[in-house]
Structure 1
Amino acid sequence: MKLIVGLGNPGPAYAATRHNVGFWVIDRLARTLRISVDKAKWKGLVGEGCVDGQKVLLLKPQTYMNASGESVAEAVRFHKLNPEAILVIYDDMDLPLGTLRVRMKGSDGGHRGLRSIIAHLGTQEIPRIRIGIGRPAPGVSVTDHVLSPFAPEEREAAEAAAVRAAEAAAAWITEPIDRVMNRFNR
């Protein structure tokens, strides 16, 4: 079984924000895989399907970003998953807008959602896809930056990155992560 988690904040007020690109990816992946992510479970919204004989769970934690680990840990414990069977997708200010980075493991890099997941699972050995949202403009706080929508001139690059991230996540279901990294880390 594989668990793919997209990070974001629940509710319509956050839907278009930079911090919610992980949710955008889950929504695109769900459409591609024909999985409905609409069941309330594990403090999140969950969908379940099968891809090439592989059971797949899609999860959008509804705990708010900083407590994402609560939802992920419940799903992981319920299914007794190893960390390598989990893929976390989230926004990253340290990457230029629209850039993707697929990684096998690593620190939280200052991302509080990932920090929560690492703390709840007790390991940094969690595969992830980071989606670049760019740095805040001078004088703009980090909080205001991540909780703001993309500017109209940024929207196309952000949406294209979400599409590529969904493609990478779909590839991860059936391919080794090093092959996914080689293909999508350009």
Structure 2
Amino acid sequence: MKCIVGLGNPGRRFEDTRHNIGFMVVDELMKRHQLSLDKKKFNGQFTTHVVEGEKVIFLQPLTYMNLSGESVRPLADFYNLNPEDIVVIYDDLDLPNGKIRLRQKGGHGGHNGIRSMIDHLGTKEFKRIRVGIGRPTTPQPVPNFVTEPFTKEEWVLAREGIYKAADACDAWFSKPFEQVMNEFN
């Protein structure tokens, strides 16, 4: 069993913001596989589906970004998921807008959603797909920047990052993650 977790913040206020790029990738996967997040439990919205002969869980935590682990841990416990079978998709300020990076494991890198995941899962051993959102070009606090929508110009590159991250997830359904990393990094 595999699990795709897209990090973000719930509610209309955050819908198209940079911090919600993980949600946007899961939304893209829902569209591609003609699915909907039809279950609400574990402080999240999710669905299960068989892809390439394997059960896959798609999850958007509804706990707000900084508490994402509070949703993922109970879901992982209920479905008896190993952390190595979880891919977490989230925004990254240090990558240019639209670029993606895949990793097998690692630290939180200052990202509070990933910090929460590590704290609640008790391990750093889960896969990640970081989607670049770039850094602010004007002096402004980072929390303001990440909770603002992409500009029209930024959206063109952001959409490319969303599609590439969804492509990487689709590839992982049939290939080892290390091979997917080699293809997409």
Same fold (TM > 0.5): yes
- Residue in structure 1 matched with residue 102 of structure 2 by the alignment: 102
The residue that corresponds to 1:55 in the other structure is 55
The one-letter code sitting in structure 2 at the alignment partner of 1:11 is G
Aligned-partner Cα distance in 2 for 1:75–1:35: 19
- After superposition, residues 132-143 of structure 1 pair within 5 angstroms as 132-143=132-143
After the TM superposition, which of the residue ranges 95-104 and 167-176 deviates more from structure 2?
167-176
Query: How much does 1:103 deviate?
Result: 0.5
Residues 83-141 of structure 1: CA deviation (Å, up to 9, x unaligned): 11100000000111111001100101111001100100011111010000001224210
Distance 1:138 1:15 in 2: 23
Aligned match of 1:78 = 78
Correspondence for 1:37: 37
How far apart, in 2, do the equivalents of 1:155 and 1:79 lie? 36
Partner of 2:127: 127
Q: Structure 2: which 5+ runs fail to align?
A: none
Identity across matched positions, percent = 52
Residue in 2 aligned with 1:158?
158
Q: Which secondary structure state, in structure 1, belongs to the residue aligned with residue 68 of structure 2?
A: helix
Q: Which one-letter code corresponds to 2:102 in the other structure?
A: V
CA distance in 2, matches of 1:30, 1:44: 15
Counterpart for residue 90 of structure 1: 90
Matched length: 185
Question: Which amino acid in the other structure matches residue 131 of structure 2?
Answer: I
After TM superposition, the score normalised by the length of structure 1 is 0.97
- Please report the RMSD computed on the Cα atoms of aligned residues, expressed in angstroms: 0.8
Distance 1:4 1:168 in 2: 11
Q: How far is the alpha carbon of 1:151 from its aligned partner? A: 1.1
- Does residue 117 of structure 2 align to residue 117 of structure 1? yes
Q: What are structure 1's unaligned runs of at least 5 residues?
A: none
SS in 2 for 1:98: coil
Report the alpha carbon displacement of residue 52 of structure 1 after superposing the two structures with TM.
1.4
Query: Contact 1:35–1:48 at 8 Å: present in 2 too?
Result: no
In structure 2, the partner of 1:13 is: 13
CA distance in 2, matches of 1:173, 1:73: 22
Q: Secondary structure at the match of 1:174?
A: coil
For residue 175 of structure 1, what is the aligned residue in structure 2?
A: 175
Q: Which moved more, 1:93-102 or 1:130-139?
A: 130-139
